[in-house]
Amino acid sequence: MSGRSTEELIAALASEAKPVKPLAPPLKRALATLAMLAALAAAAILLLSDWSLLLVRYAGREHFMLLEIAATLATGALAVTGAFFLSIPGRSKRWLLAPIIPFVAWLTLSGLGCYHDLIVNGRSGWQLGPSLECLLFIIAASLVLSLPLVWRVSRARPVDPVPVALLTGLGAAAFSAFLLQFFHPFAVTFLDLAVHLAGILMVVAAMALLNRRALAPA
């Protein structure tokens, strides 16, 4: 051990310390991140999708389409916002509950849509469509969206990273499901919806497992 006194040690540490720029408030960072994700989603929809097929699929039920899309986006937005708030020590764990109501509304509206198609199409409404492609789409899109999300949230180095990772995963999955609407030009059956839900749960679980170390304090 060196013979330096406590005062000398403190002085040495203070002289080597670098100024730290404080992070912006969590709501401001969440809104900036959501704006970035919105720009990415808009570019993908305008450049890669045929959004007119979505209108054809919901012809005569446009109000229903808007409600379902709104519930999906609300789930993603509240999950992402909650992740930013929970990345700050001392924030209420109630943020974990924030996306539950829109998430339930989203699943309920999707289920009602499946029921409508079942009534219209009869037994074919129980058939399994190209769900594997949808599952891969949700996983791949969630991976792309999670990269900027994890980068932004990890700057706070959350002390309890698991709840943050769960909400981050749910946010990425919800926005991926929103994008899927524009690349899914056919009716969704109950089996398709079950596969979509399985994909969302897989993304949330993977984010919680893989990003726990990425989000943990150094």
Dump pLDDT digits (tens) for 135-174: 888 889 998 998 889 888 888 788 888 899 899 999 999 9
Evaluate whether residue 19 is within a structural domain.
Answer: no
**Alpha-carbon distance values, 145 to 3, 67, 113, 152 (Å):** 53, 23, 26, 11
Q: What is the reported pLDDT for 74?
A: 96
Evaluate whether residue 2 is within a structural domain.
Answer: no
Single-letter amino acid code for the residue at 104: V
Percent of the chain with pLDDT strictly greater than 70: 77
Q: How many domains does the chain have?
A: 1
pTM: 0.81
Q: What is the mean pLDDT of residues 111-136?
A: 65
Q: What is the mean pLDDT of residues 38-56?
A: 84
Evaluate whether residue 169 is within a structural domain.
Answer: yes
Evaluate whether residue 8 is within a structural domain.
Answer: no
3-class DSSP assignment, residue 5: coil
| pLDDT class of 13 with cuts at 50, 70, 90 | low
Q: Which residues form the domain of 182?
A: 25-215
| pLDDT class of 1 with cuts at 50, 70, 90 | very low
Query: How much of the chain is in helix, strand and coil states, percent to nearest 5?
Result: 80, 0, 20
Evaluate whether residue 115 is within a structural domain.
Answer: yes
Evaluate whether residue 5 is within a structural domain.
Answer: no
The answer, yes or no, to whether residue 96 has pLDDT greater than 90, is yes
Evaluate whether residue 18 is within a structural domain.
Answer: no
The answer, yes or no, to whether residue 46 has pLDDT greater than 50, is yes
> For residues 84 and 71, what is the distance between their CA atoms, to the nearest angstrom?
20
Q: What is the reported pLDDT for 30?
A: 94
Evaluate whether residue 80 is within a structural domain.
Answer: yes
Q: Integer distance in angstroms from the first to the last C-alpha of the chain?
A: 26
The answer, yes or no, to whether residue 105 has pLDDT greater than 90, is yes
For residue 64, what are its two tokens? Answer: 């229903």
State the DSSP H helix or E strand holding residue 187, giving kind and residue range, or none if neither. none
